């Protein structure tokens, strides 16, 4: 029997991007069983950007709420077996629905992860941003979710499984998708992957996550702090590395106090291995601490021209 899917789209003033998103889904052939849009009290109502013959249901909020709250509202409203959360500025690529439904049919997985291509101003940034082709059957999905970041639009999830973990954590301002997929993986869901990119994500300079990077990374730290109380002790090293990496990003953004809190959390959970950093940074951070490594790295970036830095990176330094 064909698995049934609810496509759940969160919208906030993206205007014509919503029209493009729906077109990318519906031009592929048969539509999913249900499409619901949550309009987060937008100044430009979603209804103005949906063609009259498009089979969608729009729920419009009275006041602006956090993304996690909007997604949970959609989750409760969904009526079908599987749900797919989608950002308005992401596009469905050809074959998304048949490939996803076929994967569910053949594997009976609770979670299907699809690869995502990212673009910036029309230029390809990463053909496969999640790196799903690196996942083996024996790999720990929790570790994978902690080490990277599974994007919102990558997943097709058994609705019952999403409800069982309480949906998205509404106390988080951002990074709710990172936290959600870690908790989902930790709940013991069965997972299958599609390694070809069938979602296209545009990195927009005017999106909230791009404009408020400090909020995003501070939310990652908040998520790590809460996950540390919920996940088995064997993941503390992974959590420490996530906190340390978030601290590094916050330091570069000038949020030094929040970065220091992130580094303290990493030390408490760790010690971190700084796995996502270059070898030189790992050595400095392990010997002198991450704050010292950041100050030295800052001086390095200011003193050495970018071409020379690139050459050193190519040599693994």
Cβ pair 270, 228 in contact under 8 A:
no
Of the residues 186, 205, 224, which one is the last residue of a structural domain?
205
Q: Is the same domain home to 266 and 130? A: no
* pLDDT tens digits, one per residue of 88-102: 999 999 999 999 999
Does the model's pTM come out above 0.85?
Answer: yes
* pLDDT tens digits, one per residue of 194-249: 999 999 998 876 766 667 889 999 999 999 999 999 999 999 999 999 999 999 99
Q: Is the same domain home to 303 and 229? A: yes
Task: Give the mean model confidence (pLDDT) for residues 29-39.
Answer: 93
Q: Which of 68-82, 99-113, 269-283 has the lowest mean pLDDT?
A: 269-283
Q: How many domains does the chain have?
A: 2
Instruction: Please determine, for residue 279, whether its predicted confidence score (pLDDT) is greater than 90.
Output: no
Q: Is the same domain home to 159 and 229? A: no
Exposed, middle or buried by CB within 10 Å (0-12, 13-18, 19+), for 280? middle
Please tell me whether the peptide bond between 104 and the residue prior to it is cis, using omega within 30 degrees of 0. no
Of the residues 205, 223, 248, which one is the last residue of a structural domain?
205
Q: Is the same domain home to 200 and 217? A: no
Q: Containing domain of residue 305, as a range? A: 212-314
Tokens of 239: 């959590």
Please indicate whether residue 268 or residue 317 has the higher confidence score (pLDDT).
268
Q: Is the same domain home to 113 and 155? A: yes
Q: Is the same domain home to 196 and 284? A: no
Residues 6+ apart with CB under 8 A from 231: 142, 182, 186, 239
Q: Is the same domain home to 72 and 126? A: yes
Task: Give the mean model confidence (pLDDT) for residues 182-190.
Answer: 96
Computed over every residue of the chain, the mean pLDDT equals 91
Cα dihedral angle (237, 173, 229, 285), rounded to 10 degrees?
A: 30
Q: Is the same domain home to 11 and 151? A: yes
Of the residues 184, 205, 226, which one is the last residue of a structural domain?
205
Q: Which of 50-59, 67-76, 185-194, 226-235 has the lowest mean pLDDT?
A: 50-59
| CA gap 168, 181 in Å, rounded | 9
| DSSP string of 108-121, one letter each residue | --SEEEEEEEEEET
Residue 54, pLDDT score = 83
Cβ pair 231, 239 in contact under 8 A:
yes
């Amino acid at each position: 029997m064909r698995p049934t899917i609810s496509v759940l789209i969160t919208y906030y003033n993206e205007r014509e991007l919503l029209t493009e998103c729906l077109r990318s889904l519906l031009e592929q052939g048969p539509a999913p069983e249900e499409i619901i849009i949550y309009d987060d009290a937008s100044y430009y109502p979603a209804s103005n950007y949906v063609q009259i013959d498009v089979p969608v249901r729009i729920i419009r909020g009275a006041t602006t709420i956090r993304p996690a709250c909007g997604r949970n509202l959609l989750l409760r409203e969904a009526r079908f077996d599987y749900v797919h959360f989608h950002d308005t500025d992401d596009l469905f690529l050809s074959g998304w629905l048949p490939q996803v439904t076929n994967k569910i049919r053949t594997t009976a997985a609770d979670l299907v992860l699809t690869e995502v291509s990212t673009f910036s101003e029309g230029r390809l940034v990463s053909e496969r941003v999640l790196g799903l082709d690196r996942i083996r059957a024996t790999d720990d999905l929790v570790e994978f979710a902690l080490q990277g970041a599974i994007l919102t639009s990558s997943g097709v999830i058994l609705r019952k499984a999403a409800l069982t973990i309480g949906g998205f954590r509404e106390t988080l301002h951002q990074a709710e998708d990172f936290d959600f997929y870690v908790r989902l993986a930790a709940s013991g869901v069965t997972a299958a992957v599609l390694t070809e990119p069938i979602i296209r994500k545009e990195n927009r300079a005017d999106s909230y996550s791009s404009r408020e990077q400090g909020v995003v990374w501070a939310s990652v730290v908040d998520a790590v702090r809460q996950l540390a109380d919920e996940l088995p002790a064997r993941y503390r090293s992974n959590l420490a590395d996530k906190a340390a990496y978030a601290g590094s990003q916050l330091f570069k953004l000038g949020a030094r106090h929040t970065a220091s809190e992130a580094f303290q959390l990493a030390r408490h959970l760790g010690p971190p291995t700084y796995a996502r950093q270059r070898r030189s940074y790992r050595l400095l951070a392990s010997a002198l601490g991450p704050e010292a490594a950041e100050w030295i790295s800052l001086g390095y970036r200011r003193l050495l021209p970018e071409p020379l830095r690139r050459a050193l990176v190519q040599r693994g330094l």
